[in-house]
Amino acid sequence: MDNQNVRKRGRGHFYFNSEKNDSTTTNKAGLMTMESTDSRSLNKNVGLLTMGSTDPKNLKNAGLLTMEPTGSQKTKSTTHTSVEEEEAFQKLMEEAEQEEKQEISESMEKLILEEDMEINEEGEEEQMEEGEINESEWAQSSSNWENPNKEESFANKAFENQEWQEVKSKSEKKKEKIEEEAITASRKKRYVVSQVQEKRAIAVIPNPEKLSMWPFAIEIPDELTTDLERPLFPGDSIFVNKFAWIEGRRQVTIDNWYRKDTGILSYQATALMIDVTHFPYWTTKTGIITYLKKKEGKAPLARVTAYGMERSGMLYAKQCRHGLDLSKTRLSEFVNLKLAPIPAGWMIGSNYIVPPGGSYRLGTEIMAKEGSQILACAEPFTERWRWLTKTGLPKVFPIDKDYTLKEMKLAEDIIAAALITAAENEEVGRMETSYFGVVKPLEDEKKRTFTISHIHEQKAHIAKVLNIWTKDTPVTAKTGFERKAFANGYIKEVVKCDRDDGLLQIEVNIILVPNEGLYEHDEDFEAMTHGMLSIIQVAETPGGYRDQADTFGLHAPTQLIKEEKSPRTEILKALFGRPGTDDSVVGGDIPKELECVKSLNEEQQNTLSNWLHEGRGRLHYQQAPPGTGKTRLAAACIAAALKKDPKIAVLATANSNLPVSKLIDESAQINLGSEMLAFFASTARIRYGDQILLLNEHQLENKIKGKFVEKLEGSEKRDVTDYLAHIKDKPRHTKERKVGEIYLAREFKNAIFGTIYMCLGIPRAHVSTTHLIIDEVTQTSFSMMVHLLCKLPLVRSVLLTGDVRQLGTHLKELPEVIQSGYGLESVTDQMENCERVSVTILERCYRSHPIITECFDYSSYEKHGERVIAAVPAEKRTGLTKLGINLPVNDVPLILLNIRGRIEQDSASYSLSSPEQTEAAITIAKALEHRDPQGVAIICLYTFQCEKIRERLQQENIQVSVNSVDAFQSREHRLIILVTTSTKAPGSAARADASDFLKDSRRATVALSRAQSGLIIIADFEAIREGETWRRFITAAKQHTPFVDERYLEVMEHEEPTRDSNGVLNDLKGRSIEVKVEEVKLIRGGELRTGRGKNDLQQMWKSRTLGKRL
CA nearest to 300, candidates 420, 161, 165, 198: 198
The pLDDT value recorded for residue 502 is 80
What does the angle CA 726 – CA 727 – CA 731 come to, to the nearest 5 degrees? 90
The pLDDT value recorded for residue 406 is 94
Q: With cut-offs at 50, 70 and 90, classify the pLDDT of residue 132.
A: very low
Order across the sheet with 353-354: list the strands: 353-354, 347-348, 366-367
Instruction: Please state, in angstroms and rounded to a whole number, the distance separating the CA atoms of residues 198 and 200.
Output: 6
Q: Is 77 a residue whose pLDDT tops 50?
A: no
CATH of 545-672+750-842, one of 3.40.50.300, 3.40.640.10, 3.20.20.70, 3.30.420.280: 3.40.50.300
Instruction: Please state, in angstroms and rounded to a whole number, the distance separating the CA atoms of residues 454 and 60.
Output: 55
Contact (Cβ atoms closer than 8 angstroms) between residue 737 and residue 761: yes
Q: Is 771 a residue whose pLDDT tops 60?
A: yes
Assigned fold of 850-1072: Rossmann fold (3.40.50)
Contact (Cβ atoms closer than 8 angstroms) between residue 127 and residue 117: no
The end-to-end CA distance of the chain, in Å, is 40
The pLDDT value recorded for residue 641 is 93
Contact (Cβ atoms closer than 8 angstroms) between residue 393 and residue 332: yes
Q: Which residue has the higher pLDDT, 895 or 154?
A: 895
Q: Which of 123-127, 411-415, 484-488, 612-616 has the lowest mean pLDDT?
A: 123-127
Task: Please state the domain extents for the chain.
Answer: 189-277, 283-387, 439-531, 545-672+750-842, 850-1072
The pLDDT value recorded for residue 55 is 38
Angle between the N-to-C axes of helices 915-929 and 943-956, in degrees from 0 to 180, rounded to the nearest 10: 50
Q: With cut-offs at 50, 70 and 90, classify the pLDDT of residue 124.
A: very low
pLDDT per position as a tens digit, 93-102? 444 444 444 4
Q: Is 137 a residue whose pLDDT tops 80?
A: no
Order across the sheet with 313-316: list the strands: 313-316, 301-305, 283-293, 334-341, 373-380
Q: Which of 223-227, 319-323, 693-697 has the lowest mean pLDDT?
A: 693-697
The pLDDT value recorded for residue 584 is 57
pLDDT per position as a tens digit, 321-355? 999 999 999 999 999 999 999 999 999 999 999 99
Q: Is 698 a residue whose pLDDT tops 80?
A: yes
Under DSSP, is residue 82 helix (H, G, I), strand (E, B) or coil?
coil
Q: Is 72 a residue whose pLDDT tops 70?
A: no
CA nearest to 536, candidates 452, 410, 468: 452
The mean pLDDT of 53-60, rounded to a whole number, is 34
Consecutive H or E run containing 592 = none
Instruction: Please state, in angstroms and rounded to a whole number, the distance separating the CA atoms of residues 7 and 302.
Output: 29
Q: Is 423 a residue whose pLDDT tops 80?
A: yes
What does the angle CA 560 – CA 562 – CA 565 come to, to the nearest 5 degrees? 65
Q: Is 57 a residue whose pLDDT tops 70?
A: no
Consecutive H or E run containing 276 = strand 269-280
The pLDDT value recorded for residue 587 is 64
Strand partners, 291: 303
Q: Where are the beta strands (DSSP E) in 516-643?
A: 534-538, 618-623
Consecutive H or E run containing 1097 = helix 1094-1101
User: 28-37, 410-419, 429-438, 964-973 — which one is most confidently predicted on average?
Assistant: 410-419
CA nearest to 458, candidates 486, 488, 432, 490: 432
DSSP summary character for residue 855: H
DSSP summary character for residue 289: E
Q: With cut-offs at 50, 70 and 90, classify the pLDDT of residue 243.
A: very high
CA nearest to 988, candidates 1071, 912, 1050, 1072: 912
pLDDT per position as a tens digit, 725-747? 888 777 777 888 999 999 999 99
The pLDDT value recorded for residue 635 is 94
Instruction: Please state, in angstroms and rounded to a whole number, the distance separating the CA atoms of residues 313 and 8.
Output: 22
The pLDDT value recorded for residue 890 is 96
Q: Is 25 a residue whose pLDDT tops 80?
A: no
Fold agreement (545-672+750-842, 850-1072): yes
Parallel, antiparallel or unpaired: strands 353-354 and 301-305: unpaired
pLDDT per position as a tens digit, 472-510? 888 999 987 667 889 888 888 888 887 888 888 899 999
The pLDDT value recorded for residue 519 is 61
Q: Is 11 a residue whose pLDDT tops 70?
A: no
For domain 283-387, is the CATH number 2.40.50? yes
**CA 347 to mean position of chain CA atoms:** 20
Q: Which of 584-588, 762-766, 959-963, 1066-1070 has the lowest mean pLDDT?
A: 584-588
Contact (Cβ atoms closer than 8 angstroms) between residue 516 and residue 523: no
Q: Which residue has the higher pLDDT, 723 or 1104?
A: 723
Q: Is 786 a residue whose pLDDT tops 90?
A: yes
- In this structure, the chain runs to a length of 1110
Q: Is 1055 a residue whose pLDDT tops 50?
A: yes
Contact (Cβ atoms closer than 8 angstroms) between residue 879 and residue 935: yes
The mean pLDDT of 801-818, rounded to a whole number, is 91
Q: Classify residue 532 as left (phi > 0), alpha (psi -120 to 50) or beta.
A: beta
Contact (Cβ atoms closer than 8 angstroms) between residue 842 and residue 816: no
The mean pLDDT of 982-993, rounded to a whole number, is 62
**How deeply is 570 buried, as exposed, middle or buried, from its count of CB atoms within 10 A (0-12, 13-18, 19+)?**
buried
Q: With cut-offs at 50, 70 and 90, classify the pLDDT of residue 811.
A: confident
Q: Is 150 a residue whose pLDDT tops 50?
A: no
Instruction: Please state, in angstroms and rounded to a whole number, the distance separating the CA atoms of residues 692 and 228.
Output: 66
Q: Is 561 a residue whose pLDDT tops 70?
A: yes
The pLDDT value recorded for residue 629 is 95
Q: Is 164 a residue whose pLDDT tops 50?
A: no
Contact (Cβ atoms closer than 8 angstroms) between residue 289 and residue 333: yes
Q: With cut-offs at 50, 70 and 90, classify the pLDDT of residue 183.
A: low
**How deeply is 242 buried, as exposed, middle or buried, from its count of CB atoms within 10 A (0-12, 13-18, 19+)?**
middle
The mean pLDDT of 287-308, rounded to a whole number, is 92
- Record the pTM: 0.81
Instruction: Please state, in angstroms and rounded to a whole number, the distance separating the CA atoms of residues 129 and 212.
Output: 8
The pLDDT value recorded for residue 987 is 57
Q: Is 78 a residue whose pLDDT tops 80?
A: no
What does the angle CA 458 – CA 464 – CA 468 come to, to the nearest 5 degrees? 150
pLDDT per position as a tens digit, 189-225? 999 999 999 899 999 999 887 767 899 999 999 999 9
Q: Is 63 a residue whose pLDDT tops 80?
A: no
CA nearest to 58, candidates 67, 66, 48, 68: 48
The pLDDT value recorded for residue 488 is 85
Instruction: Please state, in angstroms and rounded to a whole number, the distance separating the CA atoms of residues 255 and 248.
Output: 14
Q: Which of 86-90, 693-697, 766-770, 971-975 has the lowest mean pLDDT?
A: 86-90
Q: With cut-offs at 50, 70 and 90, classify the pLDDT of residue 683.
A: confident
Q: With cut-offs at 50, 70 and 90, classify the pLDDT of residue 693.
A: confident
**Between the CA of residue 1013 and those of 869, 882, 1036, 1059, what are the distances in Å?**
16, 10, 17, 23
What does the angle CA 434 – CA 440 – CA 445 come to, to the nearest 5 degrees? 125
Under DSSP, is residue 1077 helix (H, G, I), strand (E, B) or coil?
helix
**Between the CA of residue 697 and those of 64, 196, 741, 1027, 1056, what are the distances in Å?**
70, 61, 19, 45, 51
Contact (Cβ atoms closer than 8 angstroms) between residue 899 and residue 916: yes
Which amino acid is residue 412, in one-letter code? E
Strand partners, 838: 620
Q: Is 821 a residue whose pLDDT tops 80?
A: yes
Which amino acid is residue 513, in one-letter code? V
pLDDT per position as a tens digit, 35-45? 333 333 333 33
pLDDT per position as a tens digit, 1000-1045? 999 999 999 999 999 999 999 999 988 999 999 999 999 999 999 9
Q: Is 240 a residue whose pLDDT tops 80?
A: yes
Percentage above 70 pLDDT, the chain: 76
Q: Which of 416-420, 497-501, 532-536 has the lowest mean pLDDT?
A: 497-501
DSSP summary character for residue 132: -
Q: Is 4 a residue whose pLDDT tops 80?
A: no
The pLDDT value recorded for residue 167 is 34
Q: With cut-offs at 50, 70 and 90, classify the pLDDT of residue 995.
A: low
Q: How many CB atoms lie within 10 A of CB 680?
A: 25
Whole-number mean pLDDT of the chain? 80
The pLDDT value recorded for residue 586 is 60
Query: For 695-763, where are the alpha helices, taking DSSP H only?
Result: 700-703, 707-710, 714-726, 736-744, 756-760
